Amino acid sequence: MKFSQIVEALADQVTASSLDAGLDPQIEKIAAIQDAPSGSLSYVEGGKFAAAIETTHASALILPDDSDLQAKAVARELAWVSVKNPRIVFARAIALFYQPYRRAPGVHPTAVIDDAASLGESVAIGPRVVIHEGAIIGDRVCIHAGAVVYPGARIGPNTVLHANCVIHERSQIGENCVIHSGAVIGSEGFGFVPTATGWEKMHQAGITILENGVEIGCNTTVDRPAVGETRVRQNTKIDNLVHIAHGCQIGEAVAMAAQVGMAGGVTIGNRVILAGQVGIANQAKLGDGVVASAQSGIHSNVRAGEVVSGTPAFSHKVYLKSAAVLKKLPEMAKSLKAIQKQLAKE
């Protein structure tokens, strides 16, 4: 593809480009700036990677709207395009060259589809998929090999289920969702009541609902509750190996990094960001826009817009200072003793 074609495809984001200068190389692939070979298009997000412009082998660059960076590209005779949001443009440029694997419509003969299940139009059902009675599969759904859909689950149009994932009974998955390999949706919540001799099981009669545009990472688990619903609202993106317990209510456009875990009945607002390995206790409520840093342990409610860190989690600003003191604790303890001794003498 010619560089000029790429610039045209991204036109609504473009603020300036080297096309006027006549530079229009053939682009074969997209690459990270430090690894980019000749014939590739790369991007520079900001000042941090500016030096890389001087050494990259890329033939063309996506730049922010920054005349210094443009000058650096010009100096190296590289094609360039300045854009409003280089990262989004990079994502869109990748999509010009690459589309993820998706099965062609059709039902593989080894798929096991119950007579009492319903399939939409143009579905693509892979080998060894199992779809149980009462399941409803929307139009253009793509289900990869080995996935299992329990009775009565509904999968919305255009949704993709990856290999060996499991959708449990009565779960409702919206449109344009992606469930990655090995994820388990709508499984029984961890509901046991303590008794004198052990644990009595509480059946999990509720359901799990994933709204439209939700993405669930590989081997992530989203449980259903005893009563009511576990719900993940639209456009929320969840990474691998995350655990969402029974009865959690997750807002819209939330992002959760890998290995986050939350106990039962947690409520999370819209546009919350949870970094890796964050844990959230039973019934805690996080307001809209909360950000929690990696490994935070959230024991209680967090107000909208707060940034928290640490276990138990508190203000990130204070945390940074506290964390810096942690290394000095032994020294502080020693100083304190010395002072006590001195004062005692006096």
Catalytic residue list: 246
Q: How far is CA 279 from CA 214, 229, 266, in A?
A: 21, 21, 11
* Helix or strand holding residue 16 (H, E): strand 14-17
Q: Which stretch binds a second copy (CB under 8 A): 3-11, 20-28, 66-74, 225-233?
A: 225-233
* Contact status: 13 vs a second copy (CB under 8 A): no
Which residue in this structure is represented by tokens 């009541």?
A: 193
Among 38, 305, 340, 341, binds a second copy (CB under 8 A): 340
Q: Which member of 55, 115, 327, 345 binds a second copy (CB under 8 A)? A: 327
Please, what is the minimum distance in Å from the beta carbon of residue 243 to a second copy?
4
CB of 131 vs a second copy, minimal distance in Å: 9
Owner of token pair 């807002």: 251
Stretch that binds a second copy, among 6-14, 26-34, 53-61, 117-125 (CB under 8 A): 26-34
- Rounded to whole angstroms, the Cα distance separating 29 from 40 reads 5
Residue choice 162, 230, 232, 251 for contact with a second copy (CB under 8 A): 162
Using the minimum distance from each CB to a second copy, give the nearer residue, 3 or 150. Answer: 150
Binding flag, residue 193, a second copy (CB under 8 A)? yes
List 39, 105, 120, 151, residue binding a second copy (CB under 8 A): 151
**Closer CB to a second copy, residue 16 or residue 226?**
226
x/- contact string, 241-280, with a second copy (CB under 8 A)? x-x-x-x----xx-x-xxx-xxx-----------xxx-x-
Of residues 19 and 219, the one with the C-beta less far from a second copy: 219
**From the CB of 290, what's the least distance to a second copy, in Å?**
15
Report H helices in the chain.
Answer: 3-9, 67-75, 86-97, 316-326, 329-345
For the bound state, the minimum distance from the C-beta of residue 162 to a second copy, rounded and expressed in Å, comes to 7
311 binds a second copy (CB under 8 A): yes
Would you state the structure tokens that stand for residue 38, as one six-digit string? Answer: 């000749």
Do 313 and 302 meet the contact criterion of CB atoms below 8 Å apart? yes
What span, in angstroms and rounded, lies between the C-alpha atoms of 22 and 30?
A: 21
| Min dist. Cβ of residue 54 to a second copy (A) | 20
- Per CB under 8 A, contacts with a second copy among 75-134 are 85, 87-88, 90-91, 94-95, 97-101, 108, 110, 112, 126-128, 130, 132
Integer-rounded Cα Rg, in Å, for the chain is: 26
- 51 touches a second copy by CB under 8 A: no
Which whole-number Å values give the CA distances from 221 to 74, 153, 163, 337, in the listed order?
Answer: 50, 16, 15, 50
Q: Which of 151, 111, 106, 153 is nearest to 133 (CA)?
A: 151
Task: Based on the shown chain and the rule CB under 8 A, indicate whether residue 6 belongs to the binding site for a second copy.
Answer: no
What is the 3-state composition of the chain as percent helix, strand, coil, each rounded to the nearest 5? 20, 30, 50
Q: How far apart are CA 65 and CA 330, in angstroms?
A: 49
